[in-house]
Amino acid sequence: MDDRRFGAQVTEVPDEVRVRMRGDLDNRAEEALGGAYREVAELGSTRLTLDFRDIGYINSTGIALIVRLLADARRDGRTVRAIGLTPHYREIFRITRLSDFMDIVEGDAA
């Protein structure tokens, strides 16, 4: 459904770049998320925040996209943190150990 279509918006704030995502995070998000990361890379900040507050669904293919983004960020010397994850997806990030490679901030605060 259209309201679940993935989208990512990149904004630059002092000291970091934020990617605010919305919709379903699954393999159909590949292009938009990849594009967003390229934008982040062009902006050059070493700190990236992924904002999940408008993400209602993440599946294993979405996890794979986050893994790829993390790998790119590691290669580029960029730290990544996640905000706005629901308790369920925080749990999944913990089980998959994604949380060992990114800072998981509870709630959607800065």
Partner 1 sequence: MTALTSPLRRLLGRQRGVAALEPARADAADAEFDELDPSAPSLAVEIAERDPLLTYLQSAPGPVDIARLELDSPAVLALREAGVALVVPLVSQGELIGTLNLGPRLSEQEYSTDDRRLLATLAAQAAPAIRVAQLVREQAAEAAERERISQELRVATLIQQQFLPRQLPELPQWQIAAYYGPAREVGGDFYDFVEMSDGRIGIAVGDVTDKGVPAALVMARTHSILRAEASRSTSPGEILSRANDLLVPEMPAKMFVTCLFAVLDPVSGHIVLANAGHNLPFVRTGDEVTEIRATGMPLGLLPDIRYEETEGDIAPDSDVLLYSDGLIEAHDVSREMYGFDRLREALATDDAGSELLDRLLETLNTFTGPDHEQEDDITLVTLHRSAGVHDDAVVTASSALTAFSLPGVQGNEREAMDRVAAAVMQLGLAPDRLERLKTAVSEAAMNAIEYGSQGRAEVPVDITVEATAAEIVVRITDRALSGAVPTDAEAPDIERKLAGEQKPRGWGLFLIEHMVDAMDVSTDADTGTQTVTLRLAREETSDG
Please, which residues have CB within 8 angstroms of residue 30's CB and are 6 or more apart in sequence? 65
53 binds partner 1 (CB under 8 A): no
Q: Give the range of 6-14, 15-23, 38-46, 89-97 binding partner 1 by CB under 8 A.
A: 89-97
CB atoms within 10 A of CB 109: 7
33 binds partner 1 (CB under 8 A): no
Question: Is the CA virtual torsion 39, 41, 44, 48 positive or negative?
Answer: positive
Q: Give the range of 7-15, 36-44, 52-60, 77-85 binding partner 1 by CB under 8 A.
A: 52-60
- 12, 96, 106, 110: residue in contact with partner 1 (rule CB under 8 A): 96
